[in-house]
Amino acid sequence: MTDYMKLLETVVTKRTENFKYLKRIHEGGVYWLNVGLVTTDNIMKYYRSSQDLLKKRVHLFFFLGLSLGPFLQIPNGSLYLHSLNCLLDEFSTKFKVKKHKKVKLPLNEEDEKFLNSRNVISGSSNEKHKFLMIPDVNTENFDYLQIVYALFDLLSHLSRKYLDPNCENKLFYECIVSIDDWFYKLIIKPIVKEIHEISASMIIRELTTFDPLFNSAFQGFLKVKNEMIEDKDQKKEIKQEN
């Protein structure tokens, strides 16, 4: 086994474990980082308090999962990575999310022929894409939890497709890391932040019911913290004016 294959195995193992853990958390009844119990009701209550976030998340994740499904059938190796690069570009452009730092790979004749043959027409505007699928469907009433369950499972399977003998070199490894980083920033990073907030609020709620003194102490802490932030901002504004 080459050094690059070992590195790839580390990336794939870490990411598949991330998706597996996040799925378990969203299924409920699991202690986030072994500290705060998170339930599906807690999660949905959090997202329902921000309808714009929920609608956008459902919309993005549904079309991403729909477009990624056929990638299970694309052969591993260079063609798979070329295709992923193309989809990520199309998705980022269409939905105005940050693009990944694309690593340019050599394009052989067979891969080029396949990419040129792709022509997906979808949507009322008859937009043409190679891999992005955006049919005319209203996603507002879709079940967020069912979408993330399916997306986490799909991304776990797709991550394992990186482990191909043809990817055992520096260029392909860098390409995979770049693609993986895009998925991390779009999906894992914001969800982890939100689950942190949900878990923290649950812990605070339990502690305040257990000990009323904690509530007054915590509110006092928040007041001092906010005053320090305001004071820091004021000093920053004065400094800028001078």
pLDDT by residue for the chain (242 residues), tens digit each? 789 999 999 999 999 999 999 999 999 989 998 888 899 999 999 999 989 999 999 999 999 999 999 999 999 999 999 999 999 999 999 999 999 999 999 999 999 999 999 988 776 567 789 999 999 999 999 999 999 999 999 999 999 999 999 899 999 999 999 999 999 999 999 999 999 999 888 877 776 666 555 556 656 655 665 666 666 656 555 554 55
* Alpha-helical regions (H) of 28-124: 40-48, 51-68, 78-95, 109-117
Cα–Cα distances (Å) from 173 to 76, 122, 147, 153, 170, in that order, read 14, 33, 29, 23, 5
185, two tokens: 């920033």
DSSP-H helix ranges across 96-211: 109-117, 144-160, 170-183, 189-210
In 3D space, the residue among 143, 152, 86 whose CA is nearest the CA of residue 114 turns out to be 86
Amino acid at 174: E
